[in-house]
Amino acid sequence: MKHVIVLVIVIVIGIAAAGHSSALERGAIVIGSRVQMHESAAGDSPAVGLLSEGAAVDILGRKPKPVDIEGFTDYWYLIGYRGKTGWVFGQFISPSTKATGLARIFTTAELIDYCDRAVRNLVDIRNAGFYDALIDGSGRFIADVGEMSQDPILSAYVKELEPYRLFATWSLSAGYAGTGDIKNAEKIKKQLQTYNPGALLPDGTTLGARINELDKMIQGKSETTQ
């Protein structure tokens, strides 16, 4: 029994970390005086502007890999300030992206890793039969995917997000079916049936196979309540 309780705690904490975050924040604060905004992501590229310490800037993008400059390892960030755009080395700004959550995702690899971890958590919750937690975790992840689709940086990955959104939507329906809320389970299932049943989901299954599984869950719950 003790091991089961520990498993529940681990799963719930996992989905909270991987499938939910606060609103995306792409801002940063300049932490050096007279910081140069560069034309390109290189210290010897021409300056296009100077930033004062404490200036609030918008993060518009980030190079995919960190670099070493004078003993510091950080990323080059594309930032916007008062209508100008330029590149600033991460050592000179304090971006909110250094916190956890969606705001630190800039590349396809980071996005896929984030989503894959969320899917693994949903699978663990489903396998453990914790359907209330599955509803909560799926709803959080769906909200995350919606937020990603609206973000100026992550919206470029909408195509990659679609399989994850479908899987999370299926998980939400399965959660409702597991708790006996057949009405909501059926409602979401009908939405899923408007998509290609051959669509491949992140866990390697197809949407059609998952819908068939959902039908069996709904039928089983319906029979037990009659």
**CATH code (residue 44):** 2.30.30.40
Q: How high does pLDDT run on average in the chain?
A: 86
pTM of full prediction above 0.85: no
| 146-201: pLDDT as tens digits | 989 988 889 889 999 999 999 999 999 999 999 999 999 999 999 999 999 999 99
Domain of residue 81 covers 31-93
- Give the DSSP letter string of 171-202: HHHHHHHHHT-HHHHHHHHHHHTTS-TTPBPT
- Residue 26 included in any domain: no
**What's the Cα-to-Cα distance from 71 to each of 74, 80, 91, 141, 190, rounded to whole Å?**
10, 26, 11, 38, 56
Place of tokens 């669509």: 199
Residues 216 and 125 reside in one and the same domain: yes
What ranges in 19-107 are assigned the alpha helix state H? none
From 39, 65, 93, the end of a domain falls on 93
Residues 122 and 166 reside in one and the same domain: yes
Distance between CA atoms of residues 24 and 167, nearest Å: 22
Residues 12 and 113 reside in one and the same domain: yes
pLDDT at 5 over 50: no
Residues 62 and 114 reside in one and the same domain: no
Residues 116 and 60 reside in one and the same domain: no
- Residue 75 included in any domain: yes
DSSP lists the bridge partners of residue 51 as 35
Residues 89 and 105 reside in one and the same domain: no
- Quote the tokens at residue 131: 């359907």
Place of tokens 């939507």: 169
Is the CB of residue 104 less than 8 Å from the CB of residue 97? yes
